[in-house]
């Protein structure tokens, strides 16, 4: 391979340019470091030595000597908020927001951080005022999200609906799901106050906003049942199978009760059995087991559980099998079965929990909204043992 002569001439030039750029960077770094207060470097040293309290004191001294260090004040304010010292965080961000020598975007950022300080301190009204003042600014979307969180905490569902509808189009799918849930919350309040017409209106609006809102179908069935319109209630609840069959377990007991009130108890049990065969569910098995136990006695319930265990072997199913078996045994023969049932029941308590699909938080009770991450419809009504069985 031949080396061109001009390459040999260019190499020293490249080295020279690199050396010159390095010298410029070093001079710039030295100039910057000399402009910083000594307390700033003392604070860094304390951080490296794992002395956060002394580091904070040094940084505070640095900001007092050089008020131009806005970024350092932001960092301090956020650090105080994370440490739970919201009073100090509020003071810093209020001072930043009031300064006239900072850039407009920094002043907006300081107001946003101030709102977060108020949220952390539980001062929701003051946080709301701050975020409302940011509407229409460059931080409008951030303000909308925080306002939405506040209104959900305060259960101000009408305000939450207005804010969700103002979110950007890129978030319209999530907003539709949330709005449908807010309308369901309003409908739940209306049902509790026997305002059935209002509840139906809100639920129909929820379905038109998000057509796959299972909760709206469930509550429409509840509204019909409250009006003793059992056939209509059954129709609403049966539609859940087309929407999302995993939620059938939540209405199984209501379906059984509606058929019982119509004098068609056996038909209701047959329907629930068919659901169980098509959509295996431990909660659904629990309802069908109780209904079969009441209707056919221990032998019928035992047959039901045996068939289900062959299809879906689970500890919770085995617990039901032992419960049915014990009722067919004479009292003197129940000692060993009772011991086994207690041992298995203790183990099933660990797997008989619901789990959030979004954050993984587990709870014994079903929630429409996750208590940990605040997500709606992230809690499928499936026990953790069923997640392990799902392919």
| Residue range(s) defining the domain that contains residue 329 | 245-352
pLDDT along the chain (391 residues), means of 10: 51 51 45 48 45 53 54 76 86 82 86 92 94 93 94 95 91 88 96 95 96 95 96 96 92 95 94 91 86 84 81 74 69 62 63 79 85 86 63 41
Are residues 306 and 363 located together in one domain of the fold? Answer: no
**Residue 180 domain-assigned (yes or no):** yes
Are residues 347 and 363 located together in one domain of the fold? Answer: no
Burial class of residue 21 in the structure, from the number of CB atoms within 10 Å of its CB (0-12 exposed, 13-18 middle, 19+ buried): exposed
Supply the angle between the helices 248-261 and 214-226 in degrees, to the nearest 10: 20
Q: How many domains does the chain have?
A: 3
| pLDDT score for 348 | 63
Are residues 348 and 251 located together in one domain of the fold? Answer: yes
| Cα–Cα distance, 290 to 269 (Å, whole number) | 10
Are residues 296 and 306 located together in one domain of the fold? Answer: yes
**Residue 341 domain-assigned (yes or no):** yes
| pLDDT score for 245 | 92
| pLDDT score for 155 | 94
Are residues 255 and 342 located together in one domain of the fold? Answer: yes
Are residues 348 and 359 located together in one domain of the fold? Answer: no
Are residues 249 and 347 located together in one domain of the fold? Answer: yes
**Local structure of residue 381 (DSSP, 8 states):** S
Are residues 299 and 206 located together in one domain of the fold? Answer: no
| pLDDT score for 361 | 84
H helices of the chain, in order, are 5-35, 38-48, 52-65, 70-82, 86-98, 104-121, 124-133, 140-153, 157-165, 172-192, 196-209, 214-226, 230-238, 240-243, 248-261, 265-278, 282-311, 315-328, 335-351, 384-389
| Cα–Cα distance, 205 to 187 (Å, whole number) | 10
199: Cα separation from own chain's centroid: 25
| Cα–Cα distance, 282 to 194 (Å, whole number) | 33
| pLDDT score for 202 | 97
**Residue 231 domain-assigned (yes or no):** yes
The total of other beta-carbon atoms located within 10 Å of residue 287's CB is 23
Are residues 177 and 226 located together in one domain of the fold? Answer: yes
Binding site per annotation, positions: 356, 359, 370, 373
| pLDDT score for 294 | 86
pTM above 0.85, yes or no: no
Angle at 159 between CA 157 and CA 163, to 5 degrees: 115
3-class DSSP state for residue 354?
strand
Residues composing the chain: 391
Binding site per annotation, positions for Fe cation: 356, 359, 370, 373
| pLDDT score for 332 | 58
| pLDDT score for 338 | 65
**Residue 147 domain-assigned (yes or no):** no
**Residue 82 domain-assigned (yes or no):** no
Are residues 321 and 363 located together in one domain of the fold? Answer: no
Closest CA to 259 of 237, 289, 241: 237
**Residue 76 domain-assigned (yes or no):** no
Are residues 177 and 204 located together in one domain of the fold? Answer: yes
């Amino acid at each position: 391979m031949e080396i061109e002569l001009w390459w040999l001439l260019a190499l020293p030039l490249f080295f020279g340019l690199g050396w010159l750029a390095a010298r410029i960077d070093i001079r710039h770094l030295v100039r910057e470091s000399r402009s910083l207060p000594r307390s700033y470097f003392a604070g860094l040293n304390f951080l490296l030595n794992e002395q956060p309290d002394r580091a904070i004191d040094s940084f505070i001294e640095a900001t007092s000597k050089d008020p131009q260090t806005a970024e350092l004040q932001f960092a301090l304010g956020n650090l105080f908020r994370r440490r739970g010292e919201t009073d100090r965080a509020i003071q810093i961000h209020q001072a930043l927001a009031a300064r006239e020598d900072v850039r407009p975007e920094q002043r907006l950022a300081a107001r946003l951080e101030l709102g977060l300080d108020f949220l952390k301190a539980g001062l929701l009204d003051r946080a709301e005022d701050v975020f409302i003042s940011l509407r229409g600014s460059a931080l409008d979307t951030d303000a909308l999200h925080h306002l939405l969180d506040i209104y959900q905490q305060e259960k101000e569902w009408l305000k939450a609906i207005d804010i969700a509808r103002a979110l950007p189009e890129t978030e319209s799918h999530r907003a539709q799901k949330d709005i449908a849930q807010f309308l369901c919350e309003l409908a739940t309040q209306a049902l509790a106050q026997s305002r059935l017409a209002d509840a139906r209106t809100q639920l129909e609006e929820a379905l038109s906003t998000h057509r796959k809102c299972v909760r709206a179908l469930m509550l429409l069935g509840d509204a019909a049942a409250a009006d003793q319109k059992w056939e209509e209630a059954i129709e609403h609840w049966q539609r859940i199978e087309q929407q999302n069959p995993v939620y059938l377990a939540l209405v199984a007991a209501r379906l059984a009760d509606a058929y019982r009130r119509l004098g068609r108890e056996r038909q209701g049990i047959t329907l629930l059995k068919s659901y169980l065969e098509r959509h295996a569910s431990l909660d659904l098995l629990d309802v069908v087991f109780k209904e079969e136990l009441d209707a056919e006695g221990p032998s019928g319930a035992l047959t039901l559980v045996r068939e289900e265990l062959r299809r879906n072997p689970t500890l919770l199913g085995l617990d039901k099998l032992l419960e049915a078996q014990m009722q067919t045994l004479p009292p003197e023969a129940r000692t060993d079965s009772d011991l086994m049932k207690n041992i298995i029941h203790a183990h099933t308590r660990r797997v008989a929990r619901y789990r959030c699909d979004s954050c993984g938080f587990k709870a014994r009770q079903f929630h429409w909204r996750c208590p940990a991450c605040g997500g709606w419809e992230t809690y499928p009504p499936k026990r953790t043992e069923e997640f392990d069985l799902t392919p």
